[in-house]
Amino acid sequence: MKKISDSQVSILNMLKPDINKKFYQISAGNDLYASVDLIFGKGSLARFETAQGSYTMKRQGFFMPYVTLRKDKMETDVAIALLDIKGKTSFTFEGNTYSFRALSLWKNQWGWVNEKNKIIAKYKLTLSGMIRGDVEISRDFLYLPYLELMVAVGTYFLFQIEDELNVITDFNKDIL
The model's pLDDT over 43-78, given as tens digits with 9 standing for 90+, comes to: 568 899 999 999 998 877 777 778 888 888 887 888
Residue 42 has pLDDT above 80, yes or no: no
More confident residue, 168 or 32: 32
- Among left, alpha and beta (phi > 0; psi -120 to 50; other), residue 49 is beta
HEC string of the chain equals: CCCHHHHCCCEEEEECCCCCCCEEEEEECCEEEEEEEEEEECCEEEEEEECCEEEEEEEECCCCCEEEEEECCCCCEEEEEEECCCCEEEEEECCEEEEEEEEECCCCEEEEECCCCCEEEEEEEEECCCEEEEEEECHHHCCCCCHHHHHHHHHHHHHHHHHHHHHHHHHHHHHC
pLDDT tens readout for residues 81-95:
876 666 678 888 888
Domain segments of the chain: what residues?
4-175
Residue 172 has pLDDT above 60, yes or no: no
Q: What is the pLDDT of residues 79-131, one digit of tens each?
A: 888 766 666 788 888 889 999 998 987 777 899 999 999 999 999 877 665 66
